Each structure stands twice: as structure tokens, then as C-alpha cells.
Amino acid sequence: MNIRCILICLSMVAMNSASADTIAITGATVHTVSPSGILNNGTIIIEDGHIIDIGQELSVPEGSTHINASNKIITPGLFSPLGEIGLSEVGAVAGTNDATQRGNEFAASFDIANAFNPRSLIVGISRVDGVTRAGITPQASRSDSDGNSSHVISGLGSVVHLGNEPGFLTKRGAIVVVNFGESGSALSGGSRATAIQVLKSALNDAIDYRLNKAAFQRGERRAYSVSSDDLEILGDVLAGTKAMLFRVNRAIDISVVLTVAEDYGIEAIISGGAEAWMVAEEIAKSNVPVILDGINNLPNNFERINARLDSAKLLADAGVPFAFGAGAQTHNARLITQSAGNAVANGLSWDEALVAVTLRPAEIWGVDGSVGSLEKGKEADLVIWGADPLEITSYPEQVFIKGESISMQNRQTLLRDRYLQVPDEKPPAFISINN
């Protein structure tokens, strides 16, 4: 065989290898959540984990894996903006929970990304219901048995993908979490005013540290209220390279957050926001996003007295950017579609609700350049649905994370299938009371 034939053969092998890694999904109604809008009979072509083309009447690459999704719906992967996915297995078992900040050694610099477990059972459970990306956030809690209490500042939050590919961190340490309202009051001695002062003192110390870092390292400055590691992180917040997420619900507390954010030049995010609708115009003017719980509208404490199911509609009308996800976002992260569906039932448009569980969380976390919508060049996170994804009885038929079709099995589905296989009239482990 001459050199020319060898080169031709090698070229054909390379082409076949490339085609084998190419996936073409055709025939679906594609909700791109982008300027392209809705593509009827759309085609998505995936290669090397990215969308290399998307549109209508596209040719299917020769040798590619072809998925016929006729009469199906395709959306971007769901994005759970808050929670402890990969950090908590059983809430009542302390040894399986790694998201809680306690003590004074690390507050703003407490980095839970170091404890993320990509093989967590909760990861598998969440992704088969369409959650492809998640914000993982530190939590505050009551004092432990040794008397270590949580700080008003809980630490760093990150974004992870829920696929099988290594390098699960999409964006590390993107936000700093702060507890205001009732939780902040409980952590700082019983007053909201104290919680606010704790944060302000830490921010003022970070400003002083930035101006006098060398003197501090020489031992020529006073002791600060938080550690030098925390001051470095808070310096990033003041510089605008990290956002600060405030857990807060009461309307007046939200107004305080907006004032603090303006005074210190902080990029703020509101999480909870049960009464955010009451100060919606003020929030919109500040262009601060809100992460809402679209399900829990009960006034189960005094800072949620004015919670209401149509709060998303009211925020949308005022021009407030918002996402769904506050509340139980670990074992029940998949319920963000129920939050979105409830909001649609209470006046929010369907398209706005889809944005609130896909693109908007990506924007809040600053990763919308790579995920959150279906566009050429973005990572291929997408879900194929058999019916309306915002209906509670709809489930994904297939999920892709970074272009990989993930297994739709997890511990829950395996247990379901096991106990559906009843060999006789009596279920497994049935014991008659007459025996």
C-alpha cells in the first residue's frame, strides 16, 4: 500500500471517529430560550459536548447518531440555583451532611466545593428529572454539641454539572451567602440589627484590609472581625468579582439589603423573597435578581405573612429578574418545574416560567455564556420531554449533560422496578395477620 492510500485510509478513520461522536436530534418542538425562540420540527446537532448547529431543515451529518424526537418537546436542562446536591444524603444523619458552616475560623471563605460528591445518590435522582446544573450553597444551622454556632456569613457557593464527565465544577466560589431576616437574627444574638452590623463590620474590615494589607501582615493593624481568608473573599465581593446572596423574606429586610448593596457597591441576589412583590419596583430599580420558592406560600412565620402564589407574576410585571429554587432544593430539586407550573397557573406566562428554571439561574450565577439556553456553541445540556415539562405528571424521556446521554436509572427507579415485579398475588414481604 502506498503513502497516498495510507493517508486516505487514516482520513476516513478520523472522519468516521468524528461522526461516531456526533448526535443529531430531529423532529422536536425545541424551546431554545434564546432569540431563536421556538423551533417547530427543529434539529440539534451535538459534537464534543457542544451544540454545533441548531435550526430547522438542517441536514443530519452522515454517520452520526440520529435520534428521532418527533412529537416531543426539547428544552434546555433545568438549573437548580440553590441547595446541597452532592453535599447531603440523609438530613438526619450528620455524617452525610457537609454544607453547614460553623465556627469563626472560616465564614466567607468556607468553600463547600471541596466536599461535593458527584456520585451522590441525590445527583442521580435529580438529573433523571431534568436537572443538569445546580448551584450548591452553604447553610447555617443551630449550634452543634460542642457549642459551635454558624456565622451570619455562610461561605462560598459554586455551580456544578450533574453528568458523568470529570471536572464537575462549572464555576467555583461565584457567590458569598449571607443570612438576614429571622435566620440572621438567630445567628447574631436575637436581632436583625445585629446581623446587619456583623456584615457591615466584616465589609468595613475588608476595605481596611485591602488598604493596609502589608501593615496587617507585619502585625501593625488591629485584629479584624473575621479571618484574613474571609477578608480576601469579601474583597472580591467589594471588587465586584463575586456576588453576595442574601437569604431574606420580609419586605423591609429586602429594602435593607438593597441599601447595603448600594452603599458598598455589592452585586446582590435575594433568595427567598416571600414578600419581594411588596417592594418589586424598588428591586427592579436596583436590578437585583430574586430566587423564589413558587410552592411555599403559607405564612409559617412572621416574615412570610404576605407570601402569595402570584408573586412571580407580580415580579415579572415590575421587571424584576427572577428564578425558581428557594426552599427545599436538595432532595427535591426537581420540584422547580412544579414551582414554575404553579406560577403559570397564577398568571405568569409559560415562556417566562421556563426561563426561570433554565436561563435565569444561569444568568444569576454568571454562567449563561455556556449553559441555560439552546444555542450554537453552548454546552449541550438538554431534556427531551413527552409532554409539557411544567405539568407535574410529565417526566423526561432522555437527558443530555454536556452532550452525553445519561442513564435514566437511579436508586429510586431500581427500587420501583424491583418491587413492581410481584410473582404472585401478594407483594414481597407480605405477612398475613392470620399467620
* Same-domain check for residues 265 and 335: yes
Query: Which range of residues forms the domain containing residue 57?
Result: 11-71
Given this model, what pLDDT does residue 334 score?
87
* Same-domain check for residues 126 and 238: yes
* Same-domain check for residues 179 and 249: yes
* Same-domain check for residues 67 and 210: no
C-alpha cell at 54: 441548531
* Same-domain check for residues 84 and 55: no
* Same-domain check for residues 152 and 32: no
Q: Which of 19, 50, 71 is the last residue of a domain?
A: 71
| pLDDT tens per residue, range 16-70 | 434 448 999 999 999 999 999 999 999 999 999 999 999 998 999 999 999 999 9
Cell 420501583 sits at which residue?
416
Task: Judge whether 28 lies within some domain.
Answer: yes
Q: What is the DSSP string of 43-108?
A: EEEEETTEEEEEEESPPPPTT-EEEE-TT-EEEEPEEE-SS-TTTBS-TT-GGGB--B--SSS-ST
| pLDDT tens per residue, range 239-269 | 999 999 999 999 999 999 999 999 999 999 9
Q: Which of 71, 100, 122 is the last residue of a domain?
A: 71
Task: Judge whether 404 lies within some domain.
Answer: no
Pick out the chain residues at pLDDT < 50.
1, 4-20, 433-435
80 contacts 205 by C-beta, under 8 angstroms: no
